């Protein structure tokens, strides 16, 4: 029952009271069908004899005599045509309500899927970078793609179950009105058959959750096989790695086989169970209780309808249980997204147009255990160029991540002019940054869309596009491309060189009119000639932007305004290139190990 409530609350949270309207339509469908079936009794009597009256017809229908009273209120003579016409009206109404029910269900399903996907996308966008780095990427991808489709399927099964249960109750209600003994047997039959399927439900639920877990692992491996394809292929490791993928595929298939077997048992036994119970009920009522076959025709109709919906409930619930792992994965991921949200400021203090940074005694711990940065004090002035150097693990990238707002200080404060950054809107703040990484971010789209981030092709945007293309030394590259700015770059920009992709990344940041440019090892993966071009790009921006450079190749930072030397999470020296060289033996060794 706890799980039942949890799943209902999950769907209700997306659809609200709309769910009850769907159930009301189902009740109306059941009632029209039940009343229509009841009218077959007087229909058969009218067809067999012309002497049937309102009184006799009402007597044969028992508690359903109100249907005959409706006919009598018309003032028309009781005959076959009148009964047939009323029966047709009831089934037409049933068809109308059924159409509305199915149409409304489609509307609710579309609404549910859209809100669910929006929630997941919003949740992903709202979590902090620090929390994102702790979540399995394969799990996120698997849940937001494959598992969402299963959740949609589960939605269908769940509401088949609910509608089946509602219709079952409708027919049981009609059965109680028609024949108390019949209703008692329906209840008993339903109770007994529930034991048959209880075992199947339990096993299917366990298998469904297991499939979801395996799928997370498979998606994680698949992402890594694509991300590291070049390495795996070049080293021959892909041959071994693919066996890991195949193992997961085989594991999924084995569990799916179990679920398929459980479903096969359920479906194959459905009709025989109905027939067996129908035969038993007829035997009990006709042979033991001495009830005439004519008087139990209506009971048999309701009984068969009720048993069918009982088994529909069981079959649909089995299908829902088969997708329960996806539901659990979806609920858990959304809850984790909500728990991992980035803190937002309650005040909406405006961000200055142009500003300086100040880091005041900033420290940062990873998971409250490992010290990454310690007591950082740093002033970053407008339109100055800064370079951060140091060995791997010295804290350079973490420091820049703190500045850009991907991380928040464990202690200390970051000031923007005289305002504490805690009081500013981080989303608006981050838009002021241009971030160029070692591996350029290239989308599988055109040059124009990569640079403008899908901005409309207005005259103003096209003008700015060509300006930043020129600033990034890409004019000849674009002009010589087959479709110019509409040339598709392919997956990860495979048709362009590393240097060209890097310059496209630079052009994108210039297009959004950023104020601070960050180059995170932006030239370390490039050849000397391409590195020189990128370096000329960086030098041309000096004095126009605040520039932060994380550098491995020290030759690229000789002309910066301030060089900051880091070691074990601390700043050990800062000044011009020459000043740091003269004051730091460690930096001298680093320079001497590299060729200028």
Per-residue HEC secondary structure of 142-207 comes to HHHHHHHHHHHHHHHHHHHHHHHHHHHHHHHHHHHHHCHHHHHHHHHHHHHHHHHHHHHHHHHHHH
What percent of the chain stands above pLDDT 90? Answer: 5
Measured CA to CA, the distance from residue 16 to residue 19 in angstroms comes to 6
- List CB contacts of 201: < 8 A, sequence separation 6 or more: 317, 318, 321
- Unique residue bearing structure tokens 């070692």: 438
pLDDT in tens, 201-218: 677 777 777 777 777 777
- Distances in Å between the alpha carbon of 108 and those of 114, 116, 316? 10, 12, 18
- Mean pLDDT is highest, among 198-212, 231-245, 355-369, for 355-369
For the record, the structure tokens of 39 come out as 């009218």
- Unique residue bearing structure tokens 């591996």: 439
pLDDT in tens, 134-167: 887 777 877 887 788 888 888 888 888 888 888 8
User: Are residues 508 and 453 in contact, defined by beta-carbon separation less than 8 angstroms?
Assistant: yes
When pLDDT is cut at 50, 70 and 90, the band that residue 1 belongs to is low
Measured CA to CA, the distance from residue 539 to residue 531 in angstroms comes to 12
Measured CA to CA, the distance from residue 392 to residue 441 in angstroms comes to 23
CA Rg value for the chain: 36
User: Are residues 522 and 553 in contact, defined by beta-carbon separation less than 8 angstroms?
Assistant: no
User: Are residues 467 and 548 in contact, defined by beta-carbon separation less than 8 angstroms?
Assistant: no
Measured CA to CA, the distance from residue 509 to residue 554 in angstroms comes to 24
- Unique residue bearing structure tokens 């605040």: 546
Measured CA to CA, the distance from residue 38 to residue 40 in angstroms comes to 5
- Distances in Å between the alpha carbon of 210 and those of 145, 204, 245, 272, 379? 18, 10, 16, 31, 53
At 320 the pLDDT is: 83
Kindly report which listed range (73-82, 136-145, 348-357, 435-444) carries the lowest average pLDDT score: 348-357
pLDDT in tens, 542-560: 888 888 988 777 777 888 8
- List CB contacts of 317: < 8 A, sequence separation 6 or more: 157, 161, 197, 201
User: Are residues 414 and 423 in contact, defined by beta-carbon separation less than 8 angstroms?
Assistant: no
User: Are residues 551 and 590 in contact, defined by beta-carbon separation less than 8 angstroms?
Assistant: no
Q: Per-residue pLDDT for 181 more than 70?
A: no
Burial of 292 (0-12, 13-18, 19+ CB in 10 A): exposed
* Domain formed by 439-510, architecture: 3-Layer(aba) Sandwich (3.40)
Q: pTM for the complete prediction?
A: 0.72
Q: Are strands 516-520 and 546-550 parallel, antiparallel or unpaired?
A: parallel
**DSSP bridge pairs for 385:** 547
The pLDDT mean for the chain works out to 80
At 460 the pLDDT is: 92
Q: Strand, coil or helix: what is 522?
A: coil
- Mean pLDDT is highest, among 259-268, 277-286, 336-345, for 336-345
When pLDDT is cut at 50, 70 and 90, the band that residue 397 belongs to is confident
User: Are residues 86 and 41 in contact, defined by beta-carbon separation less than 8 angstroms?
Assistant: no
Measured CA to CA, the distance from residue 359 to residue 280 in angstroms comes to 83
Measured CA to CA, the distance from residue 591 to residue 596 in angstroms comes to 8
At 346 the pLDDT is: 61
The arithmetic mean of pLDDT across residues 255-269, rounded, is 76
Measured CA to CA, the distance from residue 585 to residue 567 in angstroms comes to 12
At 596 the pLDDT is: 44
- List CB contacts of 97: < 8 A, sequence separation 6 or more: 25, 28, 29, 32
pLDDT in tens, 309-336: 777 787 788 788 778 788 888 888 888 8
Structural domain spans, the chain: 15-126, 145-342, 439-510
CATH of 145-342, one of 3.30.70.270, 1.20.1560.10, 3.40.50.1820, 1.10.287.3240: 1.20.1560.10
């Amino acid at each position: 029952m706890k799980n039942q409530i949890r799943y209902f609350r999950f769907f209700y949270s997306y659809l609200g009271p709309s769910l009850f309207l769907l159930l009301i339509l189902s009740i109306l469908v059941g009632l029209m069908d039940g009343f229509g079936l009841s009218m077959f009794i007087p229909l058969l009597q009218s067809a067999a004899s012309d002497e049937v009256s309102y009184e006799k017809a009402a007597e044969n229908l028992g508690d359903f005599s109100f249907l005959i009273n409706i006919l009598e209120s018309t003032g028309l003579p009781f005959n076959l045509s009148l009964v047939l016409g009323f029966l047709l009206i009831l089934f037409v109404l049933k068809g109308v309500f059924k159409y509305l029910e199915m149409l409304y269900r489609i509307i609710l399903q579309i609404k549910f899927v859209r809100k669910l996907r929006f929630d997941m996308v919003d949740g992903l966008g709202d979590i902090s970078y620090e929390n994102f780095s702790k979540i399995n990427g394969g799990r996120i991808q698997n849940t937001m793609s494959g598992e969402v489709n299963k959740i949609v399927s589960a939605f269908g099964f769940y509401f088949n179950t609910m509608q089946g249960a509602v219709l079952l109750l409708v027919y049981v209600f009609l059965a109680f009105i028609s024949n108390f003994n019949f209703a008692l047997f329906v209840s008993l039959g339903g109770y007994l058959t529930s034991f048959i399927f209880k075992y199947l439900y339990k096993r299917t639920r366990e298998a469904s959750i297991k499939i979801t877990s395996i799928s997370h692992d498979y998606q994680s491996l698949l992402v890594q096989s694509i991300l590291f394809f070049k390495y795996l292929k070049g080293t021959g490791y892909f041959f071994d790695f693919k066996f890991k993928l195949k193992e997961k595929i085989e594991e999924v298939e084995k569990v799916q086989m179990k679920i398929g077997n459980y479903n096969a048992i359920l479906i194959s036994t459905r009709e025989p169970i109905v027939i067996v119970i129908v035969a038993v009920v007829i035997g009990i009522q006709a042979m033991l209780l001495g009830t005439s076959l004519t008087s139990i025709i209506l009971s048999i109709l309701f009984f068969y309808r009720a048993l069918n919906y009982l088994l529909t409930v069981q079959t649909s619930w089995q299908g829902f249980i088969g997708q329960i792992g996806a539901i659990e994965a979806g609920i858990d991921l959304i809850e984790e997204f909500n728990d991992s949200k980035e803190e937002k400021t309650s005040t909406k203090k405006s961000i200055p147009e142009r500003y300086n940074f100040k880091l005041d005694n900033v420290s940062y711990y990873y998971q409250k255990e490992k010290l990454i940065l310690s007591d950082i004090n740093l002033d970053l002035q407008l339109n100055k160029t800064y370079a951060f150097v140091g060995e791997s693990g010295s804290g350079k990238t973490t420091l820049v991540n703190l500045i850009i707002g991907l991380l928040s200080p464990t202690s200390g404060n970051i000031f923007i002019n005289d305002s504490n950054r805690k009081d500013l809107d981080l989303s608006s703040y981050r838009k002021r940054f241009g971030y160029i990484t070692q591996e350029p971010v290239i989308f599988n789209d055109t040059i124009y869309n990569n640079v403008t981030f899908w901005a409309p092709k207005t005259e103003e945007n096209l003008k700015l596009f060509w300006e930043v293309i020129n600033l990034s030394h890409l004019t000849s590259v674009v002009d010589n491309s087959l479709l110019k700015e509409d040339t598709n770059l392919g997956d990860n920009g495979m048709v362009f060189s590393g240097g060209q992709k890097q310059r496209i990344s630079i052009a994108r940041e210039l297009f959004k009119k950023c104020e601070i440019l960050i180059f995170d090892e932006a030239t370390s993966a490039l050849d000397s000639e391409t590195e020189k071009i990128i370096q000329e790009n960086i030098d041309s921006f000096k004095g126009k932007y605040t520039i932060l450079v994380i550098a491995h190749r020290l030759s690229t930072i000789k002309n910066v305004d301030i060089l900051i030397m880091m070691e074990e999470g601390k700043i050990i020296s800062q000044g011009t290139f020459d000043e740091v060289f003269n004051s730091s033996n460690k930096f001298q060794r680093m320079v001497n190990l590299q060729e200028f």
